[in-house]
Structure 1
Amino acid sequence: MVVPLGLLGYGLSAQGDDKKLTVAASPVPHAEILEYVRDHLAKKAGLELDVQEYSDFVVPNNATESGEVDANFFQHKPYLDDFNKKNGTHIRPVANVELEPLALYSKKVKSLKQIKSGQTVAVPNDSVNEGRALQLLDRTGLIKLKPGAGQGASLDDIADRKGLKFEEIEAPSVPRSLTDVDAAVINGNFALEAHLSPNKDALAVEKEKDNDFTNFLAVKDGNQDDPRVRKLAKLLQSDEVKKFIEKKYDGGIVPSFGPVKD
């Protein structure tokens, strides 16, 4: 169920229920993964799980901060750090779960070597994902970033475009641009919706190891050791969930377990 934003504060709180754990999540893949846990693993672990879907990236953190939900699962560390700083919230990561790798796709060329000067590459236009996209293009050698350009790199941080042109597009719309540009950097979840597989279709894929953009379970600071949260964290990092992610998403989403850098 996608929760209408206007219903917040009208009876949706899990407070007062000592057993049920209410988690806010974006529909794909986060709610799908939580629903798998709810339907196949939670009961045996003694956990009652309520999954609330949100299409908004702001409300889940605010709802977690206020206690209207107990936890959320939809974001990565750079986004959370920026959100906490700008909004004065106190959300903390608990357990890494999955990565939605950025990848470079094309309908017009078959390899990186075929991308030449004068061609156009589409990149997401938000600061976090554009930075990720440019870091990927830098690692492939298609561009060269200025020294010190980090996760928030923008087009102004390109030292050498090597003749490439760039088109900045909202991340969800980038897949639709593939027929209009020579190549495009697309987020894993949006690639999945467009039936693109990093394993089969991509020219280059973001590295998985030590990736700062792994998505995690998060709670308000102070609730990290809630027994219900710890149960869910353990289930989300289980072999069963690993197999579910690998089978269902075919590389568009990949398991990325382990401790969270906080």
Structure 2
Amino acid sequence: MKITFLGTGTSQGIPIIGSDHPVCLSNDFKDKRLRVSVLVEWDGYTYVVDCGPDFRYQMLRENVKRIDGILFTHEHSDHIVGFDDIRPFYFRQGGVPIYAHKRVLKSLKTRFDYVFAKKNRYPGAPEVKTNRIKKNTAFKLGNLEVVPINGKHAKLQVFGFRFKDFAYLTDMKTVSDKEIEKIKNVKVLVVNALRIKPHQSHFNLDEALAFIEKVKPKKAYLTHISHMLGFHEDVEKSLPKNVFLAYDELKITI
């Protein structure tokens, strides 16, 4: 299984428009972060988790010519507003499968009503094949069973996903012990770590590290990172030996 970090930044990305924060002015490419998303590939299958405002560029940068579907963690803009840019995939391969909580599907149908229109469809609109993810029900993607991991982003329900030995969680603030059991001892865990100070809807660094200690993966990578976490090079030196900061374009194989 190959994982490509398409984006590892928070909702505004890094650098933030107009910011003179030192991290936003950094020349280190690892401090430049697009909105958070990953590409997951195995046995000829290609899936994307979330498609935010940088989706088009991310697909071009990685030369992705086909996707077998998109999984959505939740409906916030930094995770869904690249949805219209699935059109080239639709034109090339037909309706694109999407997988999401029923609430997220409803949000997509509201914000991108033309995609789901049954009558008088605009001829350039893409088509999708909707698949509802249920909280406690695993589902098949190709030849692989995927386990949804239920968590809270402040009060909002969000999904993480376990793909065999790889678990991906973002925008988490609380995860129950029952859900943690579903990802215990995975080989690779990805989890959000927004900043040093506590935040109302995201793990901060200490919370992310405590969560990693509960899960006990062989390796963990931090994502959904803001400029307030600090410089990539400095933060990386402070982490436990099996924990790393993810960065855009990082590729790992499991």
TM-score (norm 1): 0.28
More strand by share: 2
TM-score (norm 2): 0.29
More helix by share: 1
